Amino acid sequence: MGMVGGGPGAFIGAVHRMAAALDGEIELVCGAFSSRPEKSKAAGENLYLPSDRVYDSYKDMIQSEKELPEGERMDFVSIVTPNHLHFEPAKLALENGFHVVCDKPLCFNMDEALELKELVDKTKLLFALTHNYTAYPMVKQARRMIEEGAIGKVRKVVVEYPQGWLSTRLEESEQKQASWRTDPKRSGIAGAMGDIGTHAENLAEYITGLQITELCADLSTFVEGRLLDDDGNVLLRFDNGAKGILHASQISAGEENDLNIRIYGEKGGLEWRQMEPNSLIAKWLDQPTQVMRTGVGDLYPEATAHTRIPAGHPEGYLEAFANIYRNVALCVRSRLNGETPDPIYEDFPTVDDGIRGMRFIETVVASSNSDQKWTKF
């Protein structure tokens, strides 16, 4: 694996590196860790990489790695930069024959998203998007239960993502994560909705297997002087007739990272919370409430395949990230060996999920700015 971004002060880069290393399937061999060459070199030294594999820019890295013999050069690139810096390295990697793992959202705008989709279709290379919440075992259990009709036809979806860390104007300090997320030149046209609302949208569509067709959004910026939304409420309509509610907020004072979802069908409902990820609650019309636990009992193979340790030992955020990286690694290895990968390990978010996320951002902003009640997705 090569990495673009993730240098000093970049929280998510370290998360990606830990997750990629967790299963022993991936080795970090090179990187362009910062747009400032001295920072990139410092990061490479801290990661014990040879100096000739630490590059001044992603362009240098991709071109130099391409010239190395197969088996020595990187097999894929991981892009962990702010939103406005996703597109160019992803495009260049695909054009030069490298698979891509990219942080979400996919890129800066829909035009870039569609261009990446066209490149992926043309090159047939793997493109994974790190919507890591889809990779929890009990999320996969919920998805299969709905596929098998356990709760009947889905009628209602309630997905929430409240955080409180931007309740004050943190971006005025030297807090790097706050500064770029609230800057429209780096984050894009949405703040909270682009950062965490896309996770809620992706989780709702992944678990239910449905797609949003229309929405009605109300975005707010509560912190005075902030340039992007920090709170939003969205009504949803799905392609099977189901209705939904999505709210994403980064000014919900006191909240940590409480992504949660409730899905109600004709026969029962499912509930999952990211801060208690080992539990999936099923509620039924005609029987007692059921609590399913990671690693306990007869779960679907998809849930079991993404569980690493015995029941009662918490698996969480890093392991979910690692599930995506492991699945990508196994699929890359299968391609290198001319084999067909196990379909269970082909389950990771793709460029298509990225396009859905970009469309969600643009539709939510358009809806919030419109006098119309409903905006087509």
Domain match, 231 and 107 both: no
What spatial distance separates the first Cα and last Cα of the chain, rounded to whole Å? 35
Domain match, 295 and 240 both: yes
Domain match, 258 and 229 both: yes
Domain match, 17 and 39 both: yes
Which of 85, 109, 129 is the C-terminal boundary of a domain?
A: 129
pLDDT (tens digit per residue) in 249-286: 999 999 999 999 999 999 999 999 999 999 999 999 99
- Each residue's pLDDT expressed in tens, for the chain with a length of 377 residues: 999 999 987 889 999 999 999 999 999 999 999 999 999 999 999 999 999 999 999 999 999 999 999 889 999 999 999 999 999 999 999 999 999 999 999 999 999 999 999 999 999 999 999 999 999 999 999 999 999 999 999 999 999 999 999 999 999 998 889 999 999 999 999 999 999 999 999 999 999 999 999 999 999 999 999 999 999 999 999 999 999 999 999 999 999 999 999 999 999 999 999 999 999 999 999 999 999 999 999 999 999 999 999 999 988 999 999 999 999 999 999 999 999 999 999 999 999 999 999 999 999 999 999 999 999 99
DSSP string, 166-197: TSS-GGGTT-HHHHHHT-HHHH-S-SHIIIII
Residue 112 within a domain: yes
pLDDT (tens digit per residue) in 187-207: 999 999 999 999 999 999 999
pTM of the shown model: 0.95
Which of 96, 129, 162 is the C-terminal boundary of a domain?
A: 129
Whole-angstrom distance, CA of residue 220 vs CA of residue 237 = 21
Residue 102 within a domain: yes
Domain match, 197 and 239 both: yes
Domain match, 154 and 92 both: no
Q: 151 pairs with which residues across the strands?
A: none
Domain match, 301 and 371 both: yes
Residue 64 within a domain: yes
Residues whose CB is less than 8 angstroms from the CB of residue 198 and which lie 6 or more positions away in sequence, other chains included: 104, 105, 131, 357, 360, 361
Residue 347 within a domain: no
Domain match, 225 and 112 both: no
Whole-angstrom distance, CA of residue 306 vs CA of residue 169 = 39
- Per the structure, the count of domains in the chain is 2
Structural domain boundaries enclosing 99: 2-129
Domain match, 75 and 29 both: yes
Task: Give the CATH number for residue 242.
Answer: 3.30.360.10
Residue 98 within a domain: yes
Residue 270 within a domain: yes
Residue 265 within a domain: yes
